[in-house]
Structure 1
Amino acid sequence: MFRFSDMPKFLFSFLLVLPIMAIFFGGRVDFTIGKGKTIFKWKKIKIKSVYFLDSFCVYEKLKYDNRFTHACVYAGGAIANLASIFLINGLVIADILSTSLFSYQFVYFSVYYIIFSLLPIKFTETTSSDGRAIYDALRYGKITCNPD
């Protein structure tokens, strides 16, 4: 169950893990959580009224601007989840972390996220899954996350 005490962990993940690939390739990022009317805005972060429905990251032109770097940005979430799976499993194998419901569910849901985020699905004319964005970037050089 997600509790208020989990917020620092969530914010750390959201503000560090999600944009790290865009920042790595020289991009500037904006965050929007949810859909609908904006209820909170602080610098480059917006929270919308239906906050649980969607979230996305918009980035400006990358310093290293090519098909591969854009595909890496789109794959950043899946790569971070895969790295976290290896980290948790490594900690369990090294007996630093005990096998528990938390470690099992963390790995299970991380795998679930990776699989479904990489399915190449076009949600609307302007939004796609990470998998579709990766495919479009590599195949056509199309940037689907950047509105410009």
Structure 2
Amino acid sequence: MFGWKDIPTFFWAFFLVLPLVAIVHQMGHTLFALLFGGKGSFTVGRGRTLLKVGVVKIKHLYFLDSFCEYEGLKFINKFTHALVYLGGPLFNLLSVLLINSMISDHIWEPNAFFYQFSYFSVYFVFFALLPVKYAKNHSSDGRAIYDVLKYGRTCDTFD
């Protein structure tokens, strides 16, 4: 049961762990865009910009949302676009595998942070791969993958 003693854990998870999982996710998309010769950037949050470092923008409401944009791939085909869209969920899965292997090799001790990070990462993967269209030019990763593989349509903004 959720009680008063759980409030600090909730704030820790909501305001630190969840945004870190979003950053890992968007880094996956951005890295794949860069690997294929393009330019990528991502934004974490909504509202006014608090911080801009390279290709990363952190917004005032940093815990609310995240999205990636890319352009100018040098290797342009359905599969390179699909891999850019798949990069986010792939990075989330790889981060969980890394955490689990570090814990099972006794390099890291299990703790609430790793549990929450892994939990939110799996959550991100599941919902990112659902083929959902949020708005005209804003799709989930799964929908973006579907659209590019089936119809050859790329998505301007995706999660």
The TM-score with structure 1 as length reference comes to 0.78
Matching of residues 80-99 of structure 1 within 5 Å: 80-99=91-110
Higher helix share: 2
Shifted more, 11-20 versus 53-62: the winner is: 11-20
Root mean square deviation of aligned Cα? 2.8
Aligned positions, number: 141
Comparing 74-83 with 45-54, greater Cα deviation is found at: 45-54
Which deviates more, 73-82 or 92-101?
92-101
**Residue 59 (structure 1) aligned to one of 56, 70, 77:** 70
Residues 1:23 and 2:34 aligned together: yes
User: What is aligned with 2:129?
Assistant: 118
Structure 1, gaps ≥5 residues long: none
Higher strand share: 2
Please state how far the C-alpha of 1:48 moved relative to its aligned partner: 5.2
Contact 2:43 2:59 in 1 (8 A): yes
Aligned to 1:107: 118
Contact 2:25/2:87, CA 8 A, preserved across alignment: no
Any idea what SS the aligned residue of 2:133 has? coil
2:51 and 2:116 mapped to 1: Cα distance? 33
Instruction: Write the distance in 1 (CA, Å) between the matches of 2:113 and 2:58.
Output: 28
- Cα distance in 2 for residues equivalent to 1:91 and 1:21: 25
Matched, 1:137 2:137: no
Give secondary structure in 1 for the equivalent of 2:110: coil
User: Higher relative contact order by CA 8 Å / sep ≥ 6: 1 or 2?
Assistant: 2
